[in-house]
Structure 1
Amino acid sequence: MSDTNDTSIPVEEFLKHMPYGMGGMNEKLGVELLYISAERVEGRMPVAGNEQPMGLLHGGASIALAETLGSVGSAIHAMANGGVAVGVDINATHHRAATSGYVHAVATAIHRGRTSAAYEIVITNDEGKRVCTSRITCAIVPADRFA
């Protein structure tokens, strides 16, 4: 798929295709989708309510944000090709703590193929400093496997 053919989709339109909307975990974490396309997905999440016992953003919350954005990009790519995306691998490196405000994430496609899609997700704080770098791989499978 050529990047020049990549077009955004309104968040509300995408969510119509998701049987559980944003999903309970994303709702609890306060994840917001701001821009979505198969090439790039942008979102944010508040630090407040997502801290670990020392008052820092929980690493698991960062990974959940990364997985959400990478999975959304993969899902859009899969839907355009008659399939659905399922996560098979995710990793993350935490670079610095976040203690307040929001963390902002951008998932950028690094591979969009027939049977898999991979995204790099960069999470930054309100000052634009990198908090976490993640990578997710999703398998693209036929939609009828979930009918």
Structure 2
Amino acid sequence: MEEHKKKILSVCNQICKGTLMETLDIEYVDVGENFLIGRMPVNSRVYQPDGVLHGGATVALAESVGSAASYIFLDGNEFFVRGIEIAANHVKSAREGYVYARAIIIHKGKTTQLWEIKVTNESNELISNCKLTTIALPKKN
């Protein structure tokens, strides 16, 4: 099973080359039966002007991890996955280290999926709680 996890994470990280995920240094680090975890470094590239993590960068991390989870769990070879709604509550700031986004499926419908994404710091303190709705659109042959 460990080899299967490594392959999934490798695919997720490879498809991010040349995208916003690469720009923000988002890396997928763990996957399980119903979750995916990604991390992003907190540094000047993702700061707002006063030197703390920008909420938009946090939301970009959350949507990236939730969308990648949909891609994994819905078979990305059969569907295009698109985020159609995201909401975030930011409850704590971060100035350094990494933030981790853990996407867990709440509803896995044939067309829409609902994800809860908790963004935490390295001490597992909640930074943001996000909710993402994705849609699976069949690929045309």
Whether the 8 Å contact between 1:91 and 1:136 is mirrored in structure 2 is yes
CA distance in 2: counterparts of 1:62 and 1:22, whole angstroms: 19
1:127 correspondence with 2:123 = yes
1:39 correspondence with 2:37 = no
Whether the 8 Å contact between 2:52 and 2:93 is mirrored in structure 1 is yes
TM value normalised by structure 1:
0.83
- Unaligned runs of 5+ residues in structure 2 are none
Q: Decide whether aligned partners of structure 1 residues 60 and 38 sit closer, same or farther in structure 2, where only a CA change above 3 A counts.
A: farther
Q: Tell me what 2:23 maps to.
A: 28
Q: Tell me what 2:68 maps to.
A: 72
CA distance in 1: counterparts of 2:97 and 2:12, whole angstroms: 27
> What letter corresponds to residue 53 of structure 2 in structure 1?
L
How far apart are residue 10 of structure 1 and its match? 2.5
Whether the 8 Å contact between 2:12 and 2:28 is mirrored in structure 1 is no
Q: Tell me what 1:103 maps to.
A: 99
Percent of residue pairs identical: 34
Point out the more displaced range, 71-80 or 117-126.
Answer: 71-80
TM value normalised by structure 2:
0.86
Whether the 8 Å contact between 2:67 and 2:82 is mirrored in structure 1 is yes
How far apart are residue 77 of structure 1 and its match? 2.5
Instruction: Count residues in correspondence.
Output: 136
How far apart are residue 69 of structure 1 and its match? 0.6
Q: Decide whether aligned partners of structure 1 residues 14 and 24 sit closer, same or farther in structure 2, where only a CA change above 3 A counts.
A: closer
Whether the 8 Å contact between 1:94 and 1:131 is mirrored in structure 2 is yes
Q: Secondary structure at the match of 1:10?
A: helix
Root-mean-square deviation (CA, aligned residues, Å) is 2.1
How far apart are residue 38 of structure 1 and its match? 6.5
